[in-house]
Structure 1
Amino acid sequence: MLRVRPVHFTSRTEQWKQLLTALGMVKTEDDGGWQVFDSGSGRLALHTAEVGSGQDGRTVFAVEVGDVGEFARRTNLAALEDGTQRDGTRTAEPVTADHGEACRISAPDGFSFLADKAAHFAQCADADPALAVVAVWYSAEPEAAARTLLHIGARPRPVPDNDETADFTAKNGGVLLVRPASGPPRPGLGFEYDGGLEPLQERLTAAGFSASLTEEAFGSTLHVANPDAGGANAPATVWISQQRPMR
């Protein structure tokens, strides 16, 4: 299995909980400083951070898998077969993280992320089925990043333009995007919505969140005030893009 489940560190857990609930997500895990929310497709984990710390407002790119050992084996085999993995290096390495069993994936651009063993497998049926969690990988080497996502079993989906962007879906939920960017590789967080954004905008506004709708080249995007705005690690808004029709 493969499911998108980034981790967002924040000192404003309650505000994020209110935002995610307004988006139609449902809390499915609660261990004090660790809370997990299900969307219709993919999950997001909230991790408590100290106010003003280096972690506060930061998102970590991450996925969930079923069998960590088997996931590592398949990922390394895929990298070996296409020539990415050489000189005894491993793309995927099982590790023992402070939260349990996991696998670290290391990419040619220097980016790395964890595949954690899923605590539970079923997606919450009460979550808004139109909402998907999106994890973004910004990289100066987008082709290498895209190959790494292929190695972990992500499924390519069509993109509207023949450029360096790459879109993927995960078998068990969520969206993974690769976007070209200068500088060191870094993660990003967003959402997609399968349907008109105006009703979602009304729902967010009714819940007390400032939300503006913009028309962009390939569809509409809703920008919601980020609960972490003003911090060193936080953009001003959280974005929700209208899901493009598959071709």
Structure 2
Amino acid sequence: MLRVRPLHFTSRLDSWGRLLTALGMVRTENDSGWQVFDAGLGRLALHAVPEGAAEDGSTALAVEVGDLAEFARRTNLAAAEDGTTPAELVAADHGDACRITAPDGFSFLADKAAHGAQCADADPALAVVGVWFTEDPASASRTLQQVGARPRPVPDQDDTADFTAKNGGVLMVRPASGAPRSGLGFEYDGGLEPLRERLASAGIQAGITEEAFARTLHVANPDAGAAAHVPATLWISQRHA
């Protein structure tokens, strides 16, 4: 199995909880500063940090798998023709995990899923999106295919690449200068106006923009102002078949 489950660090858990609930996500884990919200496709984990901490407002790309050892074996087998072994079983702070390290130096963790099925009450049209920004999008794309992500067509023909995970969520590769880093977004398979109205009824303002390849709903980031690197808004792109 493979499911997208980014890890977001925040000093504003309550504000994130209100936003994610308004988006149609359902909290399925809540344990001492650790919360997990299910979307229809994918999950988002929230990790509480003190206000002003270096991690505050940042997101780490992460996925969930069924069996860590089997996931590592399959990933390294898929990468064998490149002469690499990107997957390594490690003991992380929170327990056993598998670390995947790409040629650009970027790494992310695969954790064993705490529970398998998505919450049936979550909005089925909402998907969690993990983004990988890198100067080497080609090798990032190869790495995602090696872990089992499935390529999907994108409307533009530049260095962008989109992938879906078998058990939910979207992974995107986007070219960017500087050190590789991760980002967070969402997709919605439906009209954005009803979603905007749902947010408004929860007291959350959002605006729709017409972009080159998709309409996008921009929502105020609960972490805005936490640090210079934190974007002012979060994006929810309209999914096109």
Q: TM-score, normalised by structure 2?
A: 0.98
Q: Does 1:242 align with 2:238?
A: yes
Deviation at 1:106, TM superposition (A): 0.2
Number of the residue aligned with 1:124: 119
Partner of 1:224: 219
Please identify, of 91-100 and 146-155, the stretch whose mean Cα deviation from structure 2 is larger.
91-100
Q: What CA distance in whole angstroms lies between the structure 1 residues aligned with 2:230 and 2:83?
A: 33
1:96, distance to aligned residue in structure 2 (A): 1.2
Residue 12 (structure 1) aligns with:
12
Render the CA deviation track for 1:29-84: whole Å, top value 9, x for unaligned: 11121000000000000000110110110101000000000000000011112x15
Q: 1:5, 1:219 → 2: CA distance?
A: 23
Contact 2:51/2:226 (8 A) holds in 1: no
Shift >4 Å, 4+ stretches: none
Q: Distance in 2 between matches of 1:222 and 1:69?
A: 39
**Partner deviation per Cα, 1:170-228 (whole Å, 9 max, x = no partner):** 00000000000000000000000000000000111111112010001111000000000
User: Secondary structure, in 3 states, of the residue corresponding to 2:145?
Assistant: helix
8 A contact 2:49–2:56 mirrored in 1: yes
**For residues 73 and 145 of structure 2, what CA distance do their matches in structure 1 show?**
14
Query: What aligned pairs does 1:179-190 form with structure 2 within 5 A after superposition?
Result: 179-190=174-185
What is the rounded CA distance, in whole Å, between the counterparts of 1:215 and 1:203 in structure 2?
A: 20
Contact 2:59/2:184 (CA < 8 Å) preserved in 1?
yes
For residues 236 and 26 of structure 1, the distance between their equivalents in structure 2, rounded to whole angstroms, comes to 24
- State the secondary structure of the residue aligned to 1:36: strand
Equivalent residue in structure 1 for 2:135, among 129, 133, 140: 140
Report the residue type matching 1:21 in the other structure: T
Unmatched runs of 5 consecutive residues or more in structure 1: none
Among candidates 153, 157, 165, match of residue 158 of structure 1 = 153
In the alignment, what sits opposite 1:59? 59
Give 1:105's aligned residue.
100
The answer (yes or no) to whether the contact 1:218–1:244 under 8 Å persists in 2 is no
User: Quick one: distance in 2 between partners of 1:235 and 1:175?
Assistant: 20
Tell me, what secondary structure is at the counterpart of 2:191?
coil
Tell me the residue number matched to 2:50: 50
SS for the counterpart of 1:76 is helix
Match for 1:205 among 200, 206, 210?
200
Q: 1:150 to 1:84 in 2, by over 3 A?
A: farther
- Say whether the 8 Å CA contact 2:72–2:88 is kept in structure 1: yes
Question: Following TM superposition, by how much is the alpha carbon of 1:244 offset from its aligned partner in structure 2, in angstroms?
Answer: 1.6
Cα deviation 1:75-123 (Å, max 9, x = unaligned): 0011112x151xxxx2000011121121000000010000001101010
**Do structure 1's residue 68 and structure 2's residue 68 form an aligned pair?**
yes
Aligned AA for 1:27?
R
Verify: 1:175 aligned to 2:152, yes or no: no
Q: Which amino acid aligns with 2:48?
A: T
Question: Unpaired runs of 5+ in structure 2?
Answer: none
Distance 2:53 2:224 in 1: 14
Provide the rounded CA distance (Å) in 2 between the counterparts of 1:32 and 1:205. 30
